[in-house]
């Protein structure tokens, strides 16, 4: 979306063909420190980096603690490790471990699982971040993921699940909601987003997918995309409010993982 005239344009087009505004590419990039250390330069790439790091840690714990004969193929993670790291588990959430609605957003069960979600996030995250703003994107990602797992908790009070797909469906919902303000261009863009929904639905039909989390993320994302104005906040007060909400979101994520770390050595029984 052009930040000046708000028209939907191609992701690689610059300047805007309608108003001439110079467009920053929404593709997430990573700065390189000293030619060695990659540093995420957008919220999208930071979330990708954190998700990959947590998957690598969970794979390490799986290989360290599990019987080699029990380790599955394609980088499968031991279910006990996922439980330790904060998988959504109904009875413990009902018992007060609210943070299990946050930590599972960053957990994945195997290479196919994380690969699919990161593929979607690489494509959708920069779009939402450039269309709305970094602070709004952070709030959207956390809020739709938590609402998705809240739907899952209501649908399956004693079940367990993990994955970023609730937040990913939330991003699709945000983009869908925003297109209703774009007339003909919005209808054309919605047809592209429906392809993601069809692909995810087909994959969900043939795998153990938390469809309740998908629905919660999609519905909440669509509401946010329709109700929240696109673009950077227009006033200083609004900008400060979104920055505060984004900071609170980051603090909630950090606190959730801190609470997870405190219970990692608790007996499973």
Active-site hit among 160, 161, 165, 256: 165
β-partners of residue 39 are 31
Question: At which residue do the structure tokens 């790091």 appear?
Answer: 53
Helix axes 43-65 and 111-131, enclosed angle (nearest 10):
160
Active site residue 165: yes
The backbone region for 20, taken as left when phi is positive above 0, alpha when psi lies in -120 to 50, beta otherwise, is left
CB neighbour list of residue 38: distance below 8 Å, 6 or more residues apart = 30, 31, 32, 49
Active site residue 113: no
Active-site hit among 45, 135, 214, 249: 214
Strands (DSSP E) found in the chain: 30-33, 37-40, 88-89, 160-161
β-partners of residue 89 are 160
Furthest C-alpha separation in the chain: 64
Question: Residue 49 and residue 144: Cα distance in Å, rounded?
Answer: 19
Sign of CA dihedral 8, 9, 14, 15: negative
Distances (CA, A) of 21 to 5, 24, 48: 8, 10, 29
Whether 25 contacts 14, CB under 8 Å: yes
Q: Write out the catalytic residue numbers.
A: 165, 214
């Amino acid at each position: 979306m052009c930040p000046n005239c708000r028209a939907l344009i191609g992701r690689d087009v610059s300047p805007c063909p309608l108003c001439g505004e110079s467009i920053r590419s929404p593709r997430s990039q990573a700065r390189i420190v000293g030619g060695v250390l990659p540093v995420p330069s957008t919220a999208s790439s930071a979330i990708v980096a954190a998700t990959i790091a947590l998957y690598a840690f969970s794979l390490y714990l799986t290989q360290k603690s599990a019987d080699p004969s029990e380790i599955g193929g394609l980088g499968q993670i031991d279910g006990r490790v996922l439980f330790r790291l904060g998988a959504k588990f109904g009875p413990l959430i009902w018992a007060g471990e609210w943070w299990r609605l946050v930590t599972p957003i960053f957990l994945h069960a195997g290479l196919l699982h994380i690969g699919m979600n990161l593929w979607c996030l690489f494509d959708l995250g920069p779009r939402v971040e450039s269309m709305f703003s970094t602070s709004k994107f952070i709030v959207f990602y956390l809020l739709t993921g938590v609402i998705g797992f809240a739907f899952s908790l209501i649908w399956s009070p004693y079940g367990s699940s993990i994955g970023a797909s609730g937040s990913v469906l939330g991003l699709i919902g945000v983009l869908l909601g925003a297109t209703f303000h774009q007339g003909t261009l919005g209808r054309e863009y919605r047809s592209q987003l429906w392809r993601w929904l069809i692909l995810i639905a087909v994959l969900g039909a043939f795998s153990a997918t938390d469809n309740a989390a998908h629905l919660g993320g999609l519905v909440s994302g669509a509401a946010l995309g329709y109700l929240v104005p696109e673009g950077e906040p227009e006033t200083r007060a609004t900008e400060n409010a979104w920055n505060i909400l984004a900071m609170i979101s980051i603090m909630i994520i950090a606190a959730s993982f801190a609470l997870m770390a405190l219970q990692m050595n608790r007996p499973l029984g």
